[in-house]
Amino acid sequence: MFLIFSSAGLFAQANENLLKSVKLYAEANQDKDWKKVLELTSPRLIEFIGGEEKMLLDIKRSDIKLKNSGLKLVSFELSQPLQEYKTSEGDIFCAVPARLCFKGEVSKLYSEAPILAISSDDGLTWKFISVAEINRIDLVNIFPKFPKEMKLPMLRVYTDE
């Protein structure tokens, strides 16, 4: 009985850490604090993209495209994390549903895609990958032990019209 209670306590602590960290990630994106976004992004993704400088350049280009399109990010909403998956290597993967709202001159645009949370230390710290920015094949290249049974909701984009 003690072991079950103890692991439930560990799960609760990991979940609390996840919620705090993903909220910081969302806030950094909304505030355009790209340094903080990089700190909270999976180092494996950063390496896959070509390093911090390359990723920062890509982020800034995307931000310029967004600005030129007349859209502005006005909210970054998070839902409760979905089921966690732990690999034989000890990595924990969890999808956190997210909805971004962009406002233009005449309408709003919504983008729904999960944020993939990854922990390599039993949930003490978490790093993130926006699933809207990467496909499953690349995820498996970055994380060879990515759980095959893990379902990731597809990117969904729509307007309020």
pLDDT value at position 61? 94
Distance of alpha carbon 5 from its chain centroid, rounded? Answer: 29
Structure confidence by residue, pLDDT tens digits, 111-123:
999 999 999 999 9
Tokens of 123: 């949930």
Structure confidence by residue, pLDDT tens digits, 61-74:
999 998 899 999 99
pLDDT value at position 89? 87
Close Cβ partners of 138 (under 8 Å, ≥ 6 residues apart): 48
pLDDT value at position 151? 87
pLDDT value at position 154? 82
Q: Are 71 and 104 in contact (CB under 8 A)?
A: yes
Domain range list for the chain: 2-159
- Alpha-carbon torsion (51, 53, 54, 55), positive or negative: positive
pLDDT value at position 13? 56
Q: How many CB atoms lie within 10 A of CB 131?
A: 21
Candidates 138, 114, 140, 141; CA nearest to 128 is 114
CATH superfamily of 2-159: NTF2-like; domain 1 (3.10.450.100)
Between the CA of residue 59 and those of 17, 19, 32, 37, 46, what are the distances in Å?
Answer: 26, 24, 10, 10, 12
* Ordered per-residue pLDDT tens for the chain, 161 residues: 223 333 334 445 558 899 999 999 999 999 999 999 999 999 999 999 999 999 999 999 999 998 899 999 999 999 999 999 999 889 999 999 999 999 988 889 899 999 999 999 999 999 999 988 888 899 999 999 999 899 888 889 988 76
